[in-house]
Amino acid sequence: MSANHSNRLSASEIDKSSPLPYHYQLREILRAEIVAERWRRGDQLPSEHQLCDMFQVSRTTVREALDALVNEGLLTREKGLGTFVADPKFMETWTGSAIGFSDSITQQGYLIETKVLELDIKPAPLRIRQELNLQAHEDIVYLKRLRYILKQPILIVTSYMPARLFPGMTEIDFTVNSLYQTFRREYNIPVTRVKRSIEAIAADEDIAAQLDLPLGFPIMFIENTAYTDGGTPIEYYNAWRRGDKSRFQFEYSQPHPSGER
Amino acid sequence: MSANHSNRLSASEIDKSSPLPYHYQLREILRAEIVAERWRRGDQLPSEHQLCDMFQVSRTTVREALDALVNEGLLTREKGLGTFVADPKFMETWTGSAIGFSDSITQQGYLIETKVLELDIKPAPLRIRQELNLQAHEDIVYLKRLRYILKQPILIVTSYMPARLFPGMTEIDFTVNSLYQTFRREYNIPVTRVKRSIEAIAADEDIAAQLDLPLGFPIMFIENTAYTDGGTPIEYYNAWRRGDKSRFQFEYSQPHPSGER
DNA sequence: CGAACCATCTTGTCATGACAGGGTGACATC
DNA sequence: GATGTCACCCTGTCATGACAAGATGGTTCG
């Protein structure tokens, strides 16, 4: 229907010597084409067989990569026709940059104080390795911070970052530097995408003690993975926030009134 | 570590003569075990090889079925260990097309039951008038619902809608009809944008009693305003959800790099 | 007794090959 | 020109086989 794209990729290849799985590499190559809008809404991708030839991998691998992107909503498949770039999703209509709590607070003129509880280099637990796509025995920078507003402890964050990407990070003073600003300014690695989940839990003994709250106090627990260009994960964090002092706000619009299901 | 289940399935088999794909049949068989709670949180599933034997299909097919359920959040996999029933969270995922609560839950295969506690027309309180852009003395439709999953009360919602836009709404049976579907089907008013905020609070006496929880239990409190085309607000609601059974998940990509935290 | 090792379980990754079934367009036929 | 057929593209489904890598528990060795 709509005009087809050039089918030409920007000189990306699958590194067969890399420890990263082929399907992962391919997925990120394709994702890059889409987010850079070299492939646009409605464009047809090369067929699975063509992708096999282009990247010298089996159809199993190609389908695994495509599956993931279809699942994320970036692609759609049509039997007998082909695979297409999907309509853009709500992510782009996310309002503003004030995603988190700290932003809205600083915008209101309050001062945030930070105490660094731990900052060092460690071996990465498996869970973290998977989330950050690290190979075995790769080290991570571990940063644990306690953050205060009006002298009150509000938030505990434990961050994990691949040590390989951030040399010398243990020398940085995070009582005054924001983490994401450091990524961008010191390492020239901007955060371009985050995946996040939020739940409400009761404070256990550990968390209650650190936030100076009674046991069972409502806490917002946040898991977050941050990615930079090309889909490389660069940070995973867990955060525990005082529920009564935190609020997440966001908007979500639907691009067009499709109204199915 | 934890006790294992019986590994016995309720006499379900894959119908090889059915036009339904094997992986689909298997997925639904497994899902049934989970939603019926014959397999519980933390239980280990039979290994992939065992499932192959049990259902006489290839590992490709087994993995395809498991993949789907992992993706839905019903299962988790651990390399070297096995596949397990996930902590049941009634996730609201913001990557798909679902905007309402019931959509995202029913997509996970759970059945929602609804009890309508109140449905009538009232004058609008000031707070609501402002949120819905109403004039003084304009009436609203007030709908208070208690919603159950697996016979457990999970969620209380109080909705406010301009009575002017929804004539005859008090006659609709909301034990079977979803609110947003009603907007679209009965009134031809689709929800195209929502603005939402989330906090973690402790259950007060009222909420605790209605959700059958102890006082102080962690609750997710959600405020939501829904808009239709042109930005007209059509509904405002407050919702209180069991924190331990709820999780919000979403992705956020940034076109411009300005990550603050 | 403690540490190192290894057999054996698990899921993760990848290739190859096959056929089914939907969609499209060229072509022959009416 | 309208219509129907059919080769040929596409994705969907499924089997088989192989090896890697993480986890576990027992055994062996110091």
Q: Where are the domains of chain A?
A: 22-91, 95-245
Show which of residues 21-80 on chain B sit within 8 Å of chain A, judged by CB atoms.
67, 71, 79
The nearest alpha carbon in chain A to B185 belongs to A259
State the pLDDT at residue B101.
65
The answer to whether residue A132 scores a pLDDT higher than 60 is yes
| Distance between the alpha carbon (CA) of B249 and the C1' atom of D14, Å | 33
Domain range B90-249, CATH class: alpha beta
Question: Is the pLDDT assigned to residue A248 strictly greater than 80?
Answer: no
Report the pLDDT value the prediction gives residue A97, as an integer from 0 to 100: 37
Closest CB to A73 among B67, B95, B255: B95
Q: Is the pLDDT of residue A1 over 70?
A: no
What residues of A are in contact with residue B217 (Cβ under 8 Å)?
A: 202
Residue B38, both tokens: 């014959």
- CA–CA gap between residue B25 and residue B250 (Å, rounded): 29
User: 135-174 in B: which are within 8 Å (CB) of A?
Assistant: none
Q: Does position A21 have pLDDT exceeding 90, yes or no?
A: yes
Give A147-152 contacts, CB < 8 A, sequence gap 24+.
A147/A102, A147/A112, A147/A113, A147/A114, A147/A115, A148/A112, A148/A113, A148/A114, A148/A115, A149/A105, A149/A110, A149/A111, A149/A112, A149/A113, A149/A245, A150/A110, A150/A111, A151/A113, A152/A212, A152/A245
The CATH class of B22-85 is: mainly alpha
CB B233 within 8 A of CB B227: yes
Q: Decide if domain A22-91 falls under CATH 1.10.10.10.
A: yes
For A95-245, CATH gives 3.40.1410.10
| Residue nearest C21 (alpha carbon to C1') | A80
**Above 70 in pLDDT, residue A108?**
no
With bands split at pLDDT 50, 70 and 90, how would you rate the model's confidence at A101? low
**How many Å from the N-terminal Cα to the C-terminal Cα in chain A?**
24
Of A199, A252, A261, nearest to B94 by CB-CB distance is A252
Give the Cα-Cα-Cα angle B93, B28, A68 (nearest 5 degrees).
45
Mean pLDDT of A84-93: 61
- At B88, list the tokens: 């049941």
Fold agreement (B22-85, B90-249)? no
Cα gap A142→A127, rounded to integer Å: 14
CB pair distance less than 8 Å for B219 and A200: yes
Query: Residue A77 CA to nucleotide C14 C1', Å?
Result: 23
Using the beta-carbon criterion (under 8 Å), do A198 and B248 form an inter-chain contact? yes
Regions in chain B scoring below 50 on pLDDT: 1-7, 95-98, 256-261
pLDDT reading at A245 higher than 60: yes
* Residues in contact with strand D, defined as Cβ under 7 Å from any of its atoms: A 19, 45, 47-50, 59-60, 63, 77-83, 126, 136; B 21-24, 56-61, 64, 78-81
Q: Is residue A56's pLDDT more than 60?
A: yes
Residue A92 has a pLDDT of 35
Neighbours of B22 (CB within 10 A): 20
CA distances from B210 to A6, A37, A136, B111 (A): 59, 49, 49, 20
**Residue A105 pLDDT:** 62
User: Given A102, A192, A261, which is nearest B254 (Cβ)?
Assistant: A192
- Flag the least confident range among A141-145, A160-164, B115-119, B223-227: B223-227
B56 CA, C2 C1': Å apart: 46
A31: how many CB neighbours lie within 10 A of its CB? 20
Mean pLDDT of A98-111: 56
Mean pLDDT of A87-92: 50
- Looking at chain B, which residue has its C-alpha nearest residue A174? B261
Q: Which residue of A has its CA nearest to B251?
A: A195
Nucleotide nearest to A62 (CA to C1'): C14
Find tokens 């660069």 and name the residue.
A234
